[in-house]
Amino acid sequence: MRIIRNKDIKHKRITVGDIGIAYLIREAVAPATDLKTVVFIHGFPFDKNMWIAQLEALPENVTGIAVDVRGHGNSTIGHGFFSVDLFAGDLLEFFRKMNIDKAIVCGVSMGGYIALRAHQMKPNKFAGLILSDTNSIADDNEAKIKRFETIRSVLQHGNRTFAISFADRVFSAHSRKTRKDAVELIKNSIRRNNIRAICATLLALAARTDTTAHLPEIKIPTLLLWGAEDEVTPREQADHLMKHLPQAKFVEFARCGHLPNLEDSDGFNEALLNYIGTLP
């Protein structure tokens, strides 16, 4: 498990609806006239700790917040019936409770699904959008069946076995050799998650709506960050987003898989900071 080096990153919790949301926050210290907020949303079935390197890299005028999605990390499960719509609603309610007028939202994989659906619900809450290794397309029947098979496997073999196989899938071969700390971080985050929550989230992902029709309505600058060797969300899905987003910029990271923010933190952070610097 990675240790938080930056003493300014705080662990906090807030009640949102029927759950407690755990989050990390590194607050801005610059003059109030130049403040920005970035909210990071992790993928499935990870947690907020995957964003520590990004929180550490933010400039002093930017507040960074990494949340645990309902049922993941240290956020509670609530009633237990999950949907991407519910996750998006949690995010928007979190904004309200935290008095966040607008934020730059950065989501990887499932975090991208949540960000896109939240933007569809309340676009005025977004100052910017960063999508990493995600897509707007709902699961087809083949993808649904794969998720159902994963549920069966998790129930039969447990989350420890699932953690090993899933970590192998989300990292490139190069990262598995050179970023063993990141691989272990992801394995640990999966192992800590409740099997009930893992299965409920898989059903939520299988049932999510298609947000492709909304993409042309996203008028804010959008940054797409992608691992060149991503086998979970291949390049054609990035091309699909680029085709439909009016103001999209694409950055690809060599020898990275599904989690470039962990596999090439320096490159990811450089692209992130360059993007933030272009926003008003």
All structural domains of the chain, each given as residue ranges with its CATH number in brackets, are: 9-278 (3.40.50.1820)
Dihedral pair phi/psi, residue 97, rounded to 5°: -65, -30
For 52, 67, 95, 103, the CA distances from 9, given in Å and listed in that order, are 9, 13, 19, 18
DSSP single-letter state for residue 216: G
CA 107, CA 43: separation in Å to the nearest integer? 7
Q: Is 172 helix (H, G, I), strand (E, B) or coil?
A: coil
Confidence (pLDDT) at 32? 67
Tell me if the bond preceding 260 is cis, omega within 30° of 0.
Answer: no
DSSP single-letter state for residue 80: S
pLDDT tens digits in sequence order for the chain, 280 residues long? 344 456 789 999 999 999 999 999 999 987 767 899 999 999 999 999 999 999 999 999 999 999 999 999 999 999 999 999 999 999 999 999 999 999 999 999 999 999 999 999 999 999 999 999 999 999 999 999 999 999 999 999 999 999 999 999 999 999 999 999 999 999 999 999 999 999 999 999 999 999 999 999 999 999 999 999 999 999 999 999 999 999 999 999 999 999 999 999 999 999 999 999 999 8
Q: How far is CA 45 from the centre of its chain?
A: 10
Q: Are 17 and 86 in contact (CB under 8 A)?
A: no
Confidence (pLDDT) at 4? 41
Confidence (pLDDT) at 15? 98
DSSP alpha helices (H): ranges in 33-124? 52-57, 84-97, 110-121
CA 114, CA 225: separation in Å to the nearest integer? 16
